[in-house]
Chain A
Amino acid sequence: MGGIELALLGAALAVGLAGSGSAIGAGIAGQSAAGVVSEDPDKFGQTLLLQALPMTQGIYGLLTGLLIMIEIGIFAGETVALTPEQGRYMLMASLPIALVGFSSAIYQGVASAAAIGMIAKRPEEMGKAITFPAMVETFAVFAVLVSLLLLLRM
């Protein structure tokens, strides 16, 4: 594979894996949210907020993917010549968010689902309910940070 293909593989992994994780996580949280809202339609706003939490990983992945695409000049219309070494570097740089994004989004979805259950019983405890899923996201934040630092330093 040439440099461009490797870089694109990196972009595809970042967007694809982190996005899949977010889709699963948001799906898990969404099931709980729908259950709560069927009992109390007024909780739609609160539960939607909690369902949105595991979606950030997908955005981090998208961010990393788009950054790679900008670097290799996809949007400029003309791709830059990339050596296989540079391509491999970009592929490696995309891995942190691809891997951690996938797993953390799923588990954040599980935590969000539990938090939604908490809101069903105690709607006044929104602050605490948001904090538990936010703990899980810490690792996705670290991963995207490393991915971004690697890409921006190129």
Chain B
Amino acid sequence: MAIVEMKKVSLLGHRQERERIVDLLHRTGTVELVDVAESDIWPELEPLLELEQTSEAVARIESRLGEVRYCLDFFQRYFPVRKNFVQQLIGNKIEVTGDQFSGAADQFSEVSAVYTTCRDAEERLTKIRNEENRCRNMLEELRPWVGLSLPLEQIRSSVFVEMGLGAVPLLSYPAFKEALAARTADLYLEEVSADKDQIYLFYIFLAADLELVQPLFKEALVSPVTFPDTEGAAAEASLALEKKFAELVAQRGAIIAQVEEMLARRPQLMTLYDHLDNERAKNEAAANMARTQSSFVMEGWVPAPMLESLGKVLQDGTTTAVLVSRDPGPREETPILLHNRAPIGAYEVVTRLYSVPRRDEYDPTPFMAPFFFLFFGICLADVGYGITLSLLAFLLSRKIRLAGMGKQLVNLFFLGGIGSAVVGLLQGGYFGDLLDLPPLWFNPLDDPIRMLIICFILGLVHIYFGMGIQAYRSIKAGRALDALFDQGSWFVLINGLIMMALPFPALSAVARWAAVIGAASLVLTQGRRQKGLLRKIISGVGSLYNITSILGNVLSYSRLLALGLSSAVIASVINVLAMLMAGSIPGFLVMIPILVVGHFFNLMINVLGAYVHTSRLHYVEFFGLFFEGGGKAFRPFGLKTKFVDVVE
């Protein structure tokens, strides 16, 4: 059976051994914990027990976790770890040994020092950044006045003289200048610099003229400029600021170099993070328990095959733990764990990406696997591509430690490569027509209609198979009539229609009767769940309309041919283009990259297409016949890591 049977367990133990027991459960990773308060036995137990509270330990671990996370974030900000394309899809964890992992907590004091240093560094960096900004702004303000040789602190009005700096809009300047000259008795005006909007002015005039002149300033929109805290000429002040800026940059570099030195600690921090996170999970597990003065009880789900080993671990490792197991009740929703042997196990990823089955359904994986293998092969249909894909998948699984769905996906591509090599042999595809070997069977490019019919037949077999599974489920559940009405009628009707279309006159009478019986049985039975005669008839007749959707589903399998053809034709086009270059040595040098890049590109596009469309044929055409999904996946309490892989 592909869905693993689950047992509900209750675990009793002495409180003194609680930590040890939780640790054992965490290490074996075979129990999914359930909140005791939501268990069906809780109402009986409630008067006797009280719920366990999560301890202060959780708060303590959380605060340490916060420090480690801060350090990691800080490093990531200044020295980001970038993931390459493959790592983004399947992750990049560092490997640590079990000892390193469990010993990580002992190094917390060292890590605490890293935290202090990071905190300090960040504070100083923030200060430096503010200072840099101030410098930059000041330099910007000084820039227009660099040409002015007068020290800035000397630009002040006195009793007799008005003296100052101002920026005048270019548009109003000519009028302003004229009016100013007209209204003052004595005037010194220096155009220090100009940009595309404004002219920067240094002016001196007699204080006596101030009242006359002031309206002019307003009218011309002159903005006054002052440098209250700057000494010396603008050019000198700028130089000093630039020097200070360079110093700040150097200081920042020094701090970052200091941080970089600590970067060697990053793996240690990552290990500690994962370690602490798991410790937190262990402590939080207590939230699921109930206790008396000196004992505690917890509940959970365990896959039946692992029950015995779990019992043994608890017996050997503790003195008080008692494990009681029972079968789940008929209405209880159990978590679902799929288990299929290799090579079928690889196809679990397709099921899991759709949905985990409910408890009362079959795991569709073993039914799907052979079809997936074959359909993927037909979509790629090339010996060269198949072998390349299998090799790539093999190398990937060798080079990177994979687990769970990522591993299954790589295995699926490995098998898919084999499938397409097999189909390629039958159809004579070797990197398109690069090797001109005869097909073992026939080449769809020569006879596409024959291949199209084969695809339709495969589709029909696929659909019948799905209907068969549903019929079997109904019979097993004691509803044999449902199977006969819902699947049997369609089977008879479709076969009748197909036989009618075939050019065999001898069959036509049988075919017609089959079609009529099938259709009549649909009309009579498909409304059986409705109330009232009229409704029964309408649903019955209406169900015949489904013939179009079945026809559409079968036609949908023509994509197998289309994808196979497109991979073969693009491959041969690449060969044609490459051969255009052949004939000379430089041509040969161009030809090889065209072949390699072209075929690699074609392979990638077609692997994506083959995977997507084969999945779709299963999700839409096949699963719809017998499988709904919607189960809850089994999530055992155990080691979960974000950054590291613990290897023994």
Residues of A within 8 A of B (CB): 42-46, 48-49, 52-53, 56, 59-60, 62-63, 66-67, 70, 75, 125-128, 130-131, 134-135, 137-138, 141-142, 144-145, 148-149, 152-153
A sample of 8 more A-B contacts (CB under 8 A), given A46-B88, A67-B569, A148-B565, is A45-B86, A45-B88, A48-B85, A56-B609, A131-B612, A131-B615, A134-B612, A134-B616
Partner of A135, one of B88, B565, B620: B620
Q: Which residues of A contact B555 (CB under 8 A)?
A: 142
Interface string of B549-585 (1 = CB under 8 A from A): 0000001101101110110011001001100100000
B171 close to chain A: CB less than 8 A:
no
| Beta-carbon contact of A63 and B566 below 8 Å | yes
Q: Which residues of A contact B452 (CB under 8 A)?
A: 145, 149
Cα distance A67–B561 in the bound complex, in angstroms: 16
Cα distance A143–B397 in the bound complex, in angstroms: 37
Q: Which residues of B contact A153 (CB under 8 A)?
A: 448
Q: Which residues of B contact A49 (CB under 8 A)?
A: 608
| Beta-carbon contact of A149 and B449 below 8 Å | yes
Q: Which residues of A contact B565 (CB under 8 A)?
A: 145, 148, 152
Minimum CB–CB distance from B602 to chain A (whole Å) comes to 9
Looking at chain B's contact residues, the main secondary structure is helix
| Beta-carbon contact of B556 and A138 below 8 Å | yes
B113 close to chain A: CB less than 8 A:
no
| Beta-carbon contact of B566 and A135 below 8 Å | no
Given the known inter-chain contacts A67-B569, A145-B558, please indicate yes or no for A128 contacting B353, CB distance below 8 A. yes
**Closest A-chain residue to B354, C-beta based?**
A127
B64 close to chain A: CB less than 8 A:
no
Cα distance A142–B613 in the bound complex, in angstroms: 13
Minimum CB–CB distance from B174 to chain A (whole Å) comes to 49
Minimum CB–CB distance from B236 to chain A (whole Å) comes to 44
| Beta-carbon contact of B88 and A42 below 8 Å | yes
| Beta-carbon contact of B577 and A131 below 8 Å | no
Interface residues on B, range: 35 or more
**Interface pairs (17), CB distance under 8 Å:** A45-B88, A49-B608, A52-B605, A63-B566, A125-B353, A127-B350, A127-B352, A127-B615, A131-B612, A131-B616, A134-B616, A135-B616, A135-B620, A138-B556, A141-B559, A148-B566, A152-B445
Q: Which residues of B contact A52 (CB under 8 A)?
A: 605, 608
B89 close to chain A: CB less than 8 A:
yes
Cα distance A138–B352 in the bound complex, in angstroms: 23
Minimum CB–CB distance from A54 to chain B (whole Å) comes to 12
**Closest A-chain residue to B84, C-beta based?**
A45
Q: Which residues of A contact B559 (CB under 8 A)?
A: 138, 141-142, 145
Minimum CB–CB distance from B265 to chain A (whole Å) comes to 23
Shortest 7 CB-CB distances between A and B: which pairs? A127-B353, A45-B88, A145-B562, A45-B89, A141-B559, A66-B573, A134-B616
| Beta-carbon contact of B354 and A44 below 8 Å | no
Minimum CB–CB distance from A128 to chain B (whole Å) comes to 7
B74 close to chain A: CB less than 8 A:
no
Looking at chain A's contact residues, the main secondary structure is helix
Minimum CB–CB distance from A77 to chain B (whole Å) comes to 9
Given the known inter-chain contacts A56-B605, A75-B577, A127-B350, please indicate yes or no for A144 contacting B566, CB distance below 8 A. yes
Q: Which residues of A contact B566 (CB under 8 A)?
A: 59-60, 63, 144, 148
Minimum CB–CB distance from A81 to chain B (whole Å) comes to 21
Q: Which residues of A contact B577 (CB under 8 A)?
A: 75
B442 close to chain A: CB less than 8 A:
no
Minimum CB–CB distance from B357 to chain A (whole Å) comes to 14
Interface string of B189-201 (1 = CB under 8 A from A): 0000000000000
Cα distance A142–B530 in the bound complex, in angstroms: 38
**Closest B-chain residue to A148, C-beta based?**
B565
Cα distance A70–B83 in the bound complex, in angstroms: 42
Cα distance A128–B623 in the bound complex, in angstroms: 14
| Beta-carbon contact of A144 and B562 below 8 Å | yes
| Beta-carbon contact of B576 and A63 below 8 Å | no
Partner of B89, one of A46, A127, A131: A46
Interface string of B444-457 (1 = CB under 8 A from A): 01001100100000
B75 close to chain A: CB less than 8 A:
no
Q: Which residues of A contact B570 (CB under 8 A)?
A: 59, 62-63, 66
Given the known inter-chain contacts A63-B566, A70-B573, A70-B576, please indicate yes or no for A148 contacting B612, CB distance below 8 A. no
B108 close to chain A: CB less than 8 A:
no
Q: Which residues of B contact A135 (CB under 8 A)?
A: 616, 620
Partner of B569, one of A66, A75, A149: A66
Cα distance A134–B619 in the bound complex, in angstroms: 11
Cα distance A60–B612 in the bound complex, in angstroms: 16
Partner of A130, one of B561, B569, B612: B612
Given the known inter-chain contacts A45-B88, A46-B89, please indicate yes or no for A128 contacting B354, CB distance below 8 A. yes
Q: Which of B595-648 contact A (CB under 8 A)?
A: 605, 608-609, 612-613, 615-616, 619-620
Cα distance A18–B616 in the bound complex, in angstroms: 23
**Closest A-chain residue to B89, C-beta based?**
A45
| Beta-carbon contact of B605 and A59 below 8 Å | yes
Cα distance A110–B532 in the bound complex, in angstroms: 45
Cα distance A144–B613 in the bound complex, in angstroms: 15
Q: Which residues of A contact B85 (CB under 8 A)?
A: 44-45, 48
Cα distance A40–B565 in the bound complex, in angstroms: 38
Minimum CB–CB distance from A37 to chain B (whole Å) comes to 10
Cα distance A93–B240 in the bound complex, in angstroms: 76
Minimum CB–CB distance from B410 to chain A (whole Å) comes to 14
| Beta-carbon contact of A145 and B561 below 8 Å | yes
Interface string of B20-36 (1 = CB under 8 A from A): 00000000000000000
Minimum CB–CB distance from B587 to chain A (whole Å) comes to 14
Cα distance A17–B565 in the bound complex, in angstroms: 21
Minimum CB–CB distance from B459 to chain A (whole Å) comes to 13
Cα distance A138–B621 in the bound complex, in angstroms: 13
**Closest A-chain residue to B569, C-beta based?**
A63
Q: Which residues of A contact B573 (CB under 8 A)?
A: 63, 66-67, 70
| Beta-carbon contact of B449 and A42 below 8 Å | no
Cα distance A63–B612 in the bound complex, in angstroms: 20
| Beta-carbon contact of A131 and B619 below 8 Å | yes
| Beta-carbon contact of B576 and A75 below 8 Å | yes
Cα distance A153–B446 in the bound complex, in angstroms: 9
**Closest B-chain residue to A144, C-beta based?**
B562
Q: Which residues of A contact B620 (CB under 8 A)?
A: 131, 135
Q: Which residues of B contact A75 (CB under 8 A)?
A: 576-577, 580
Q: Which residues of A contact B352 (CB under 8 A)?
A: 127
Given the known inter-chain contacts A44-B85, A59-B566, A131-B619, please indicate yes or no for A53 contacting B612, CB distance below 8 A. yes
Minimum CB–CB distance from A59 to chain B (whole Å) comes to 6
Q: Which residues of B contact A42 (CB under 8 A)?
A: 83, 88
Cα distance A125–B355 in the bound complex, in angstroms: 9
| Beta-carbon contact of A126 and B445 below 8 Å | no
Minimum CB–CB distance from A87 to chain B (whole Å) comes to 21
| Beta-carbon contact of A44 and B616 below 8 Å | no
